[in-house]
């Protein structure tokens, strides 16, 4: 099937051509027909998903209920559609052991009793080659505990993924670049500080092995120069015909129990772009310099952004004397990893801004926004500025039975009021967030009114003004609460980071690139910090976000990107280069 065929067909033929894409639900194609012509297969997928988003809840439930149970009675009786039979067979669900079969029957029954619709999972998964039966059962068990509204939305997203794979089959399309990215991510994840989960912290043997693997792949891709610099950044240069260079990349270190795509996706995307340019024997009018930043997450040492700080010349000499949990200084760790560990060497990493056009970074969103909108790509408007504090409210620990309600000085109740205020105040302004993530009554007892309550505060916004306004209001409220309740408090600032708004020109280039793929332009702020936030001090920057699956979860082994979305991010990067 081709896009031209679909675009030119009568409405009835259009529906017939898409038969089987959405299980027993021709109404989706019927309503999408009016949105033709579609510029790309990706545009068609987004349009079909939009019809479902805009449908009534009853229609959405009807779509979910049109699907068979996994390894259910219909599957056993051979009563499924050809598409479903094929998918369940490929996932090995027709070859369950008796125990697995019994387990799945029990899960099906429990799930249906809780939600009133069948469990939906795109069994071919984000890679397209299929989950194992163990993975399917684990996902089933996890989702059985979800909130009903969230679970209904997740079922619909799984249905869109099923439709995506069916459309790829109909069109004879294979997202080969996305598949390569996915396989690289899986191969790199084999290098870990621990055996059970992916953990790759700075200057460990796993970290060095990742750097070596990235360098080997960069050479295979056709980069002209590949090296590891004095802070362990992996740097690949693909020379252009002109003098200037575009800088790009992201980090290859991870948090503990990490996902595979955080950071690494932003290294792989331009690597694959270079591989394609090299295969075609093409040179750009500018060089492309891809940096795999060695450290961004701040896991092993108190200082973070070690890699990008060195690039902008803000690496602090005192950091070399910081120690990790085992008492090893950063200097010693660097030297054990084969790096010089001297400021003299680190200073050579600093870039001369006049040689560069700017900095761009592709990154997994690490949040639920794109996933909930059924959009594969988003354009970042600003990396949030933040302020963080640790604090304590001090009241009076007294007897829970004998102290009347009007005569208490309850420290925890004071913090509770502050939490609710922070939540309401942040929610009142778009793109502003406030969180109390740590909360503790030191040596509290069930029959004692809390005399002390420790807490943390994390305030973020897209502009420094919005962040500072939130900050001022929250601190004024803290004052007022303590005054009224007869409490006192301490508050120590632990971090202040300025917002990094995207450069308007570079942001519009990302927007043009995404539009050329036939996709809607969705702009969103980045709530998380990124290497681009540091490079912002040196060069104009803008970021592209890629949808994360499983509700956008990140810093977690459940972090996920489909090969189709990965492919789109690579294609967007190619279009961005074309606009220069
Ligand atoms: Zn990251």
Provide long-range contacts, Cβ within 8 A and 24+ apart, for 417-423: 417/481, 418/393, 418/455, 418/474, 418/477, 418/478, 418/481, 419/455, 421/474, 421/477, 421/481, 422/457, 422/459, 422/474, 422/477
* CA 530 – ligand 1 centroid, Å: 6
* CA 201 – ligand 1 centroid, Å: 13
The answer to whether 252 and 208 have CB atoms below 8 angstroms apart is no
* CA 296 – ligand 1 centroid, Å: 7
* CA 253 – ligand 1 centroid, Å: 9
Cβ-based burial of 170 (10 A; exposed 0-12, middle 13-18, buried ≥19): middle
Q: How confident is the model at residue 50 (pLDDT cuts 50, 70, 90)?
A: very high
Secondary structure (3-state) at 18: coil
Checking if the pLDDT of 350 tops 80, the result is: yes
Q: What pLDDT is recorded for position 76? A: 67
Secondary structure (3-state) at 342: coil
Checking if the pLDDT of 109 tops 90, the result is: yes
Checking if the pLDDT of 62 tops 70, the result is: yes
Q: What pLDDT is recorded for position 63? A: 97
Cβ-based burial of 233 (10 A; exposed 0-12, middle 13-18, buried ≥19): buried
The answer to whether 190 and 199 have CB atoms below 8 angstroms apart is no
Checking if the pLDDT of 93 tops 90, the result is: no
Mean pLDDT along residues 77-88: 78
Alpha-carbon span 111 to 103, nearest angstrom: 12
* CA 265 – ligand 1 centroid, Å: 9
334-343: per-residue pLDDT in tens? 999 999 999 9
Q: What pLDDT is recorded for position 70? A: 84
Mean pLDDT along residues 112-132: 94
User: DSSP state, 329?
Assistant: B
* CA 448 – ligand 1 centroid, Å: 43
* CA 297 – ligand 1 centroid, Å: 7
* CA 362 – ligand 1 centroid, Å: 10
Checking if the pLDDT of 255 tops 80, the result is: yes
* CA 542 – ligand 1 centroid, Å: 15
Q: What pLDDT is recorded for position 270? A: 98
Residue 322, φ and ψ in degrees, nearest 5: -65, 150
* CA 160 – ligand 1 centroid, Å: 27
Alpha-carbon span 378 to 524, nearest angstrom: 7
* CA 411 – ligand 1 centroid, Å: 37
Q: Find the range with the poorest average confidence among 65-69, 91-95, 417-421.
A: 91-95
Q: How confident is the model at residue 77 (pLDDT cuts 50, 70, 90)?
A: low
Alpha-carbon span 498 to 320, nearest angstrom: 25
Q: What pLDDT is recorded for position 91? A: 76
* CA 251 – ligand 1 centroid, Å: 6
484-506: per-residue pLDDT in tens? 999 999 999 988 889 999 999 99
* CA 190 – ligand 1 centroid, Å: 18
Mean pLDDT along residues 128-153: 93
Checking if the pLDDT of 119 tops 90, the result is: yes
* CA 263 – ligand 1 centroid, Å: 4
* Preceding peptide of 301 cis, ω within 30°: no
* CA 203 – ligand 1 centroid, Å: 17
* CA 575 – ligand 1 centroid, Å: 23
* CA 275 – ligand 1 centroid, Å: 23
Of the two residues 99 and 42, the one the predictor is more confident about is 42
* CA 441 – ligand 1 centroid, Å: 33
Q: What pLDDT is recorded for position 494? A: 87
Alpha-carbon span 354 to 441, nearest angstrom: 53
pLDDT > 70 fraction of the chain, expressed in percent and rounded: 99
437-472: per-residue pLDDT in tens? 999 999 999 999 999 999 999 999 999 999 999 999
Of the two residues 524 and 87, the one the predictor is more confident about is 524
Task: Kindly report the pTM of this predicted structure.
Answer: 0.92
* CA 282 – ligand 1 centroid, Å: 30
* CA 261 – ligand 1 centroid, Å: 8
* CA 435 – ligand 1 centroid, Å: 20
* CA 573 – ligand 1 centroid, Å: 18
272-288: per-residue pLDDT in tens? 999 999 999 999 999 99
365-377: per-residue pLDDT in tens? 999 999 999 999 9
Checking if the pLDDT of 95 tops 80, the result is: no
Alpha-carbon span 185 to 564, nearest angstrom: 15
Comparing CA positions, the residue from 266, 245, 250, 267 lying closest to residue 353 is 245
Checking if the pLDDT of 182 tops 70, the result is: yes
* CA 258 – ligand 1 centroid, Å: 10
Q: What pLDDT is recorded for position 101? A: 87
The answer to whether 391 and 580 have CB atoms below 8 angstroms apart is no
Mean pLDDT along residues 69-77: 73
Checking if the pLDDT of 92 tops 90, the result is: no
Checking if the pLDDT of 523 tops 70, the result is: yes
* CA 305 – ligand 1 centroid, Å: 10
Of the two residues 363 and 102, the one the predictor is more confident about is 363
* CA 198 – ligand 1 centroid, Å: 14
Cβ-based burial of 81 (10 A; exposed 0-12, middle 13-18, buried ≥19): middle
* CA 254 – ligand 1 centroid, Å: 8
* CA 526 – ligand 1 centroid, Å: 11
* CA 363 – ligand 1 centroid, Å: 7
* CA 262 – ligand 1 centroid, Å: 5
* CA 174 – ligand 1 centroid, Å: 27
């Amino acid at each position: 099937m081709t896009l031209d065929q679909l675009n030119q067909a009568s409405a009835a033929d259009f529906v017939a051509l898409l038969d089987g894409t959405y299980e027993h639900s021709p109404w989706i194609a019927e309503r999408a027909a009016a949105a033709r012509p579609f510029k790309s297969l990706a545009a068609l997928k987004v349009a079909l998903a939009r019809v479902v988003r805009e449908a009534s809840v009853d229609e959405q439930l009807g779509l979910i209920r049109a699907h068979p149970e996994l390894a259910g009675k219909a599957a056993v009786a051979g009563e499924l559609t050809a598409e479903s039979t094929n998918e369940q067979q490929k996932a090995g669900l027709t070859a369950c052991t008796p125990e697995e079969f019994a387990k799945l029957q029990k899960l099906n029954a429990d799930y249906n009793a809780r939600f009133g619709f069948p469990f939906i999972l795109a069994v071919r998964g984000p890679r397209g080659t299929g989950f194992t039966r163990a993975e399917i059962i684990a996902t089933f068990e996890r989702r059985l505990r979800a909130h009903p509204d969230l679970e209904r939305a997740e079922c619909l997203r799984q249905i869109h993924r099923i439709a995506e794979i069916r459309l790829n089959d109909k069109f004879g399309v294979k997202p080969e670049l996305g598949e390569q990215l996915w396989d690289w991510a899986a191969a790199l994840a084999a290098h870990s500080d621990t055996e059970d989960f992916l953990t790759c912290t700075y200057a460990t043997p796993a970290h060095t092995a990742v750097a070596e693997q990235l360098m080997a792949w960069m050479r295979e891709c056709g980069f002209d120069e590949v090296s590891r610099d004095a802070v362990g950044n992996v740097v690949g240069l693909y020379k252009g015909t002109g003098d200037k260079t575009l800088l790009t990349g992201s980090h290859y270190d991870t948090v503990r129990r990490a996902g595979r795509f955080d950071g690494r996706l932003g290294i792989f995307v331009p690597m694959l772009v270079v591989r394609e340019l090299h295969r075609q024997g093409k040179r750009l009018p500018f060089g492309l310099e891809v940096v795999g930043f060695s450290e961004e997450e701040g896991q092993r040492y108190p200082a973070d952004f070690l890699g990008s700080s060195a690039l902008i010349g803000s690496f602090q000499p005192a950091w070399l004397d910081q120690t990790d949990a085992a008492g090893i200084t950063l200097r010693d760790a660097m030297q054990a990893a084969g790096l010089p560990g001297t400021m003299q060497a680190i200073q050579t990493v600093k870039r001369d801004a006049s040689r560069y056009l700017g900095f761009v970074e592709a990154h997994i969103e690490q949040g639920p926004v794109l996933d909930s909108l059924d959009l594969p790509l988003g354009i970042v408007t600003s990396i949030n500025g933040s302020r963080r504090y640790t604090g304590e409210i001090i009241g009076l620990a007294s007897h829970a039975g004998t102290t009347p309600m009007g005569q208490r000085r309850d420290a925890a109740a004071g913090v509770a009021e502050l939490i609710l205020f922070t939540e309401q105040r942040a929610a009142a302004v778009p793109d502003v967030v406030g969180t109390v993530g740590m909360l503790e009554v030191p040596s509290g007892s069930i029959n004692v009114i809390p005399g002390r309550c420790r807490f943390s505060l994390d305030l973020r916004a897209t502009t420094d003004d919005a962040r500072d306004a939130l900050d001022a209001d929250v601190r004024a409220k803290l004052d007022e609460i303590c005054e009224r309740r007869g409490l006192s408090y301490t508050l120590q600032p632990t971090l202040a980071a300025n917002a990094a708004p995207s450069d308007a020109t570079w942001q519009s280039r990302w927007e043009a690139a995404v539009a050329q793929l036939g996709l809607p332009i969705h702009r969103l702020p980045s709530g998380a910090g990124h290497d681009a936030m540091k490079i912002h001090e040196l060069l104009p920057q803008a970021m592209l976000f890629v949808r994360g699956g499983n509700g956008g979860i990140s810093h977690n082994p459940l972090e996920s990107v489909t090969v189709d979305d990965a492919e789109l991010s690579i294609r967007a990067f190619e279009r961005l280069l074309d606009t220069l």
